[in-house]
Structure 1
Amino acid sequence: MNLAVEDKSKKVSLITLPPEVLISIFSHVDEKDLYVLQQVCSYFACLINDEELWKNLFVSRIHTCYFPSFAQTNKYSIEYLERLQGLRQWKHNRAIKTKYVLSPSPRYQVQIERIIFDYPRCACYNDGIITLVQLHSRRKKDRLIYIPCTTPQGCSTMSFNINAAVFGRFDGRVFGKLLSNKSYLTPVTEFDSRHSSCVTAITTSISQDSLEDWCVSGSENGELIWWCETHKVKSLKISSKVILHVALYKNWTIAADSEKFYVIKDMEDVHIIPLPKTKNTDGSDVQLQVQFSKIDFGSMSLIVADTRHLFVISFNPDLDFGRSRTILIPETISNLEIDLATCKREQNKSLAGEDGCFLAVMTMENSIKLINVRAPGNTLIIENELKFDEQVYTCQVSNLVLVCALSGQLQVYDAAGARLIKTVQKTDKYPQHLAISQGRMIIASGNLVHFLQYISDPSLLKKRSGSGGQRAHGNKWDKRVNAELAIYDEEESLRKERALENERLIETYGGDLSDDELQLRIALMESESSHFPNSAHQAEQSGEEVDDDLERAIEESRLAQENQQFVESFADEDDEDFIRALEQSRADEEHNSQRIRRSTPLTDVDDSRPLDQAIAGNDEDDEALRLALALSLSEAN
Structure 2
Amino acid sequence: MENKQSDGQKQTGLAGLPTELLIQVFSHLDPQTLEEIGLVCHRWHNLIKDNTVWYRVFVARHPRTAPVFSAAVRTKSWRMELIRRDELLAAWNNGRSTLRTYSLARDLRRPSRILADFRRGRMLAYDATMGGLLTCDISSGRGISHALCSIPAGCTTYSVGRHFMIFGRWDGSVYGSILERKNILCAGLRSMQTAPGRHNSLITASAVCRGDLPKQGLPGAFTGDIQGSIHAWDARTGECLAQIALGGLAHAQPARVAPAAVLPSGDVPPSQNAVVRLDSDGRRYLVALLSSGNVYLIENLFCACERTERTPRISKIGLFKSPGLSAEPSSWVGVQICADYGGQNVVVYNQDRFEVFPFHGESSSVLALAPGQQISLAALECGDHAMVARERSIVGGDPLLMAVVLRSGLVLIVNVRAASFVLQPLARIEPQLLRRWSDAQGAPDPAAAPITAVALTGLVVVVGFRDGAAEMYDTVSGEFCRQVSDGPSRRMRTGASAGGAGAELPVSTILLDDQSAAGLLELGPVIQFFEFGDCYSRQHYSGHRIRKKSRQREKKAVDDEIKSRVRDYEYQEAQLEREYDMVAQYNGEDTTGAEQLQMALALSASLQSSEQGENTSPGGDVTPDEMRQIERIERTEERQRREEAQVAQIAQQQEEAQACQRQEEEDLRLAIRLSLLDTGAPPAQGSSDDNRINN
**Amino acid of the residue matched to residue 133 of structure 2?**
T
Checking the alignment, whether the CA contact within 8 Å between 2:469 and 2:484 is kept in structure 1 is yes
**Amino acid of the residue matched to residue 346 of structure 1?**
A
Q: Which of residues 67, 70, 73 is equivalent to 1:68?
A: 70
Equivalent in the alignment of 1:304: 348
Equivalent in the alignment of 1:395: 454
1:82 Cα deviation after fit: 1.1
1:194 Cα deviation after fit: 1.4
Equivalent in the alignment of 1:557: none
1:445 aligns with 2:523: yes
**Aligned ranges for residues 430-469 of structure 1 at < 5 Å?**
430-437=506-513, 438-439=515-516, 440-456=518-534, 458-462=536-540
Equivalent in the alignment of 2:289: 256
**Amino acid of the residue matched to residue 238 of structure 1?**
L
Separation in 2 of the partners of 1:305 and 1:30? 46
TM-score normalised over the length of structure 1: 0.60
Q: Which of residues 228, 232, 257 is equivalent to 1:222?
A: 228
1:279 Cα deviation after fit: 10
Provide closer, same or farther for how the CA distance between residues 168 and 116 of structure 1 changes in structure 2, counting only shifts above 3 A. Answer: same
1:166 Cα deviation after fit: 0.6
Equivalent in the alignment of 2:241: 233
Separation in 2 of the partners of 1:384 and 1:291? 24
Separation in 1 of the partners of 2:348 and 2:140? 43
Provide closer, same or farther for how the CA distance between residues 30 and 276 of structure 1 changes in structure 2, counting only shifts above 3 A. Answer: farther
**Amino acid of the residue matched to residue 369 of structure 2?**
I
**Amino acid of the residue matched to residue 239 of structure 1?**
G
Provide closer, same or farther for how the CA distance between residues 289 and 125 of structure 1 changes in structure 2, counting only shifts above 3 A. Answer: closer
Equivalent in the alignment of 1:373: 416
Q: Which consecutive residues of structure 2, in runs of 5 or more, have no partner in the other structure?
A: 1-17, 249-272, 302-311, 325-331, 435-449, 489-504, 548-695
Separation in 1 of the partners of 2:147 and 2:64? 46
| Number of residue-to-residue matches in the alignment | 430
TM-score normalised over the length of structure 2: 0.55
**Aligned ranges for residues 113-132 of structure 1 at < 5 Å?**
113-119=112-118, 120-126=121-127, 127-132=129-134
Provide closer, same or farther for how the CA distance between residues 104 and 451 of structure 1 changes in structure 2, counting only shifts above 3 A. Answer: same
Provide closer, same or farther for how the CA distance between residues 160 and 292 of structure 1 changes in structure 2, counting only shifts above 3 A. Answer: closer
**Aligned ranges for residues 546-565 of structure 1 at < 5 Å?**
none
Alpha-carbon displacement from aligned partner over 1:46-77 (angstroms, at most 9, x marks no partner): 67864335445666623422112211111122
1:276 Cα deviation after fit: 4.8
Separation in 2 of the partners of 1:309 and 1:376? 18
Checking the alignment, whether the CA contact within 8 Å between 1:205 and 1:248 is kept in structure 2 is yes
Equivalent in the alignment of 1:179: 179
**Amino acid of the residue matched to residue 429 of structure 2?**
L
Provide closer, same or farther for how the CA distance between residues 430 and 191 of structure 1 changes in structure 2, counting only shifts above 3 A. Answer: same
Separation in 2 of the partners of 1:215 and 1:209? 10
Q: Which of residues 194, 198, 202 is equivalent to 1:194?
A: 198
Equivalent in the alignment of 2:152: 152
1:327 Cα deviation after fit: 2.5
Alpha-carbon displacement from aligned partner over 1:599-635 (angstroms, at most 9, x marks no partner): xxxxxxxxxxxxxxxxxxxxxxxxxxxxxxxxxxxxx
Greater alpha carbon shift after TM alignment, 179-188 vs 63-72: 179-188
Provide closer, same or farther for how the CA distance between residues 427 and 290 of structure 1 changes in structure 2, counting only shifts above 3 A. Answer: closer
**Amino acid of the residue matched to residue 319 of structure 2?**
L
1:264 Cα deviation after fit: 0.3
**Aligned ranges for residues 94-105 of structure 1 at < 5 Å?**
94-104=96-106
Alpha-carbon displacement from aligned partner over 1:162-204 (angstroms, at most 9, x marks no partner): 2111100111110001111356254444442310111110111
Equivalent in the alignment of 1:410: 470
Separation in 1 of the partners of 2:72 and 2:286? 28
Equivalent in the alignment of 1:347: 390
Checking the alignment, whether the CA contact within 8 Å between 1:123 and 1:130 is kept in structure 2 is no
Alpha-carbon displacement from aligned partner over 1:294-340 (angstroms, at most 9, x marks no partner): 11111110112343442222114xxxx33312230223211111114
Greater alpha carbon shift after TM alignment, 90-99 vs 328-337: 90-99
Provide closer, same or farther for how the CA distance between residues 457 and 217 of structure 1 changes in structure 2, counting only shifts above 3 A. Answer: closer
Checking the alignment, whether the CA contact within 8 Å between 2:162 and 2:212 is kept in structure 1 is no
Checking the alignment, whether the CA contact within 8 Å between 1:334 and 1:363 is kept in structure 2 is yes
1:353 Cα deviation after fit: 0.9
Checking the alignment, whether the CA contact within 8 Å between 2:345 and 2:358 is kept in structure 1 is yes
**Amino acid of the residue matched to residue 211 of structure 2?**
S
Provide closer, same or farther for how the CA distance between residues 153 and 309 of structure 1 changes in structure 2, counting only shifts above 3 A. Answer: closer
Provide closer, same or farther for how the CA distance between residues 224 and 305 of structure 1 changes in structure 2, counting only shifts above 3 A. Answer: same
Q: Which consecutive residues of structure 1, in runs of 5 or more, have no partner in the other structure?
A: 1-18, 281-287, 472-637
Provide closer, same or farther for how the CA distance between residues 202 and 448 of structure 1 changes in structure 2, counting only shifts above 3 A. Answer: same
Provide closer, same or farther for how the CA distance between residues 242 and 63 of structure 1 changes in structure 2, counting only shifts above 3 A. Answer: same
Name the % identity.
20
Separation in 2 of the partners of 1:56 and 1:311? 36
